[in-house]
Structure 1
Amino acid sequence: METDPSDAPYTSLVAVGDSFTEGMSDRLPDGSYRGWADLLAARMAAHAPGFRYANLAVRGKLIAQIVDEQATTAAAMNADVVTLVGGLNDTLRPKCDMGRVTGLLTEAVERLAPTCRRLVLMRSPGRQGPVLERFRPRMEELFACVDDLAARHGALVVDLYGASVLGDQRLWDVDRLHLTAEGHRRVAEAVWQALGYPPETDWREPLPAAVRPGWAARRTADARFARQHLLPWIGRRLTGRSSGDGLPPKRPELTPYARDVQDVPDS
């Protein structure tokens, strides 16, 4: 059931999760990341004076870390809206106990749902290609759990996985793991609409047709990807490190959020 924010505006938002919610790879000129949650907060703030926002997400976090490091903190904030996206990093690990992953996701939802007016879950987007095909069974098991939890706890589910446009490789950064600025803009619009706000754009609209790069260009891109992103990622897996080790959340407190020019998506 959709909520009409014009009747009772949402006055606060807490975002929980990993790099997807932190905002990688929607990079700002100062080197920080914006992302869909920041864009959403800016738009919600325009409808509610004194709007407050926290973003506890940190890149690389597994679902156990999200439960241990973010869920209790988020629950204590008693925000109107909480977004929770997690577990996908687990599904990409060579060894993944899906029973444990879904159990921890359930624990997070059970902790958060009673403390907020609206809990938002997501079926995460998947970039077209061999990586998606390899891990699709795990992802779909995770999303089946998301659907079940939403039904049991009255949460909203934003189905990004079912939107074919978000599989378009042009909406993914060169690391092939994170959305571009345009991808994040579309996710923000999707959540905006799911919360009951009036549509501003069609976030599912396909991108214009484009000429596919030639063989040489694709091989060059593959080599750059392997050197800059794949090999470091494998190195972290082998040593048990994470890209988020030692990094704090970018907005750890639920504080007033003023719309800034950098929160306006590129046209």
Structure 2
Amino acid sequence: MGYRSYVAVGDSFTEGLNDPLPDAPPPAPGEVVRYRGWADRVAERLADLEPDFRYANLAVRGKLIDQIVADQVPVAVGLKPDLISFCAGGNDLIRPGSDPDVMAKKLAAAVRTLRATGADVVLFTGTDPRDTPIMRRVRGKFAIFFMHVRSIADLYGCHLVDMWSMQGLRDWRAWSGDRLHMNAEGHRLVAARVLHVLGVPGEDDWRKTWPPREAVDPRAKRREDVQWLREHFGPWIGRRLRGTSSGDGLAPKRPDLSPLPPVN
């Protein structure tokens, strides 16, 4: 079917980190960097097929499932779109003490609300964290939550984008230097998968096969790990200790349904 309006709900994954906007100038000191991401890419393709298409992206980096349900879901309901994508829980799962069963109940309640509007809803499983040294320690918690997501999608008639099965996302070449967010290629693959699930024709194939990589010098790998700890993991731990988030004070990049500007 053709979609005339689409609202994206979620956290940094849906906001689009770290997929730079094409031809965007370098940010000024203190300026918030804005990104493209898989949701924008999906919206661009839907706009190609529907002249009156409108799009909103309410996602904000760092948000927890309670914040997304409280702040974004009511706005999405009020906008009355044809299509809603809803991805939440990743930031909760990496925090000690989070309960995937409790999270799933919150997700299910929000999905019921979204589906009651008559909109098509897209849900997501995340990628398998077994290749990530820190997050693989809580792999079981991820798996439990994503099984709940599958069940919720089936129960409420939602589209499901299963990123756990996307082998192309298991290669680090699909990820940015922070090892938590996809790069442009990773977002392109997710967008292709979303369009495939929706039955919308697209130019890209989500079944990515990467060429073999050259052997990595162990010393270079250690230097990369040290740099990652200093530039990404250390600041993340600092925010957790301070009780702050990278999304504090940030507004959604597209808070209202509006036509998309042309992409260069």
Q: Which TM-score band applies after superposition, normalised by the shorter structure? A: over 0.9
Matched, 1:188 2:191: yes
Match in the other structure for 1:224: 227
Count how many residue pairs are aligned between Structure 1 and Structure 2: 254
Which residue of the other structure, out of 122, 125, 128, is the alignment partner of 2:124?
Answer: 122
Unaligned runs of 5+ in 2: 26-32
Q: 2:54: which partner in 1?
A: 52
1:199 positional shift: 4.4
Deviations 1:126-177 (A, max 9, x none): 4523234212111111111111111111001011111121111111111000
- For the pair 1:177 / 2:170, whether they are aligned, the reply is no
Matched, 1:238 2:241: yes
Matched, 1:38 2:31: no
Aligned to 2:30: none
Q: Contact (CA 8 Å) 2:100, 2:142: kept in 1 or not? A: no
Q: TM-score, normalised by structure 1?
A: 0.92
> Is 2:7 aligned against 1:14?
yes
CA contact (8 A) 2:10 2:59 kept: yes
Instruction: Quote the RMSD (CA, aligned, Å).
Output: 1.3
The list of structure 1 runs, each at least 4 consecutive aligned residues, that deviate by more than 3 angstroms after superposition, is: none
Identify the match of residue 16 of structure 2 among 18, 23, 26: 23
Report percent identity of matched pairs: 45
Query: Is this contact kept in 2: 1:126–1:166, CA < 8 A?
Result: no
Matched, 1:203 2:206: yes
Query: Which residue does the alignment assign to 2:82?
Result: 80
Q: Residue type matched to 1:138 in 2?
A: K
Of 10-19 and 28-37, more deviation after overlay is shown by 28-37
Aligned counterparts of 1:141 and 1:71: Cα–Cα separation in 2: 23
Of 66, 69, 72, the residue aligned with 2:68 is 66
1:97 alignment partner in structure 2:
99
Is contact 2:3-2:50 (8 Å) kept? Answer: yes
- Give the secondary-structure state (helix, strand or coil) at the position aligned to 1:252: strand
Q: Is the 8 A contact 1:59 1:243 kept in 2?
A: yes
Give the distance between the partners of 1:181 and 1:203, measured in 2 at CA.
13
> Taking structure 1 as reference, are residues 199 and 50 closer, same or farther at Cα in structure 2, changes over 3 Å only?
closer
Q: Which amino acid aligns with 1:256?
A: P
Over residues 24-60 of structure 1, what are the superposed CA-to-partner deviations in whole Å (9 max), with x where a residue is unaligned? 0112333421100011111100000110000000000
1:164 aligns with 167
Gaps of 5+ in 1: 262-267
Q: Secondary structure at the match of 1:187?
A: helix
- Amino acid in structure 1 at the alignment position of 2:8: A
- Residue 140 (structure 1) aligns with: 143
Shift of 1:239: 1.2
Assess if the C-alpha contact under 8 Å between 1:21 and 1:36 holds in 2.
Answer: yes
Question: Partner of 1:253: helix, strand, or coil?
Answer: strand
Does structure 2 conserve the Cα–Cα contact (< 8 Å) formed by 1:75 and 1:116?
Answer: no
SS in 2 for 1:186: helix
SS of 1:99's equivalent in the other structure is: helix
